[in-house]
Amino acid sequence: MRRIIYSWSFMLVLACCIGCSTTDQGPASSVVEGSEIRVYEVFGMDCPGCQGGVEKLVKKIPAVQDAKADWKKKKLTVAVRPGSDLDDEDVLDAIRRANFTPGKRIQ
């Protein structure tokens, strides 16, 4: 039994190390020069985990180069892939599928 507890605890510590060392630079630092930046209001996010949920779905849109959400400011910043035509409705749909409600596009 002790072996199971020690193994489980070791995995937890390992998970903590990896989870805490994860960094997220967001569009501001990862976008190549010339990308169009759009900012949308998002309602319903209440913790850092919510940010990840919406970012992941928005990043799946081919015309999106990068996305960064902020649960405190209730905003989603999207960098459009250069040369692509991003439909706002695709972003709003991704926000809804992440269980949140899109507000207006503010930039």
In total, the chain counts a number of residues equal to: 107
The two tokens of residue 21 are: 């060392």
The two tokens of residue 96 are 């809804």
Decide: is 105 part of the binding site for another protein (CB under 8 A): no
CA–CA distance, 87 with 27 (Å, rounded to integer): 18
Residue 71 found at the interface with another protein (CB under 8 A):
yes
Q: Which is nearer to another protein, 38 or 55 (CB)?
A: 55
For the bound state, the minimum distance from the C-beta of residue 78 to another protein, rounded and expressed in Å, comes to 16
Alpha helix ranges (H) inside the chain: 2-21, 27-30, 48-59, 88-97
30 binds another protein (CB under 8 A): no
Q: CA-to-CA distance for 41 and 87, rounded, in angstroms?
A: 16
Of residues 39, 44, 81, 92, which one binds another protein by CB under 8 A? Answer: 44
Binding residues for another protein, rule: CB under 8 A, are 1, 4-5, 7-9, 11-12, 14-16, 18-20, 22, 24, 41, 43-44, 46-57, 70-74, 96-101, 103
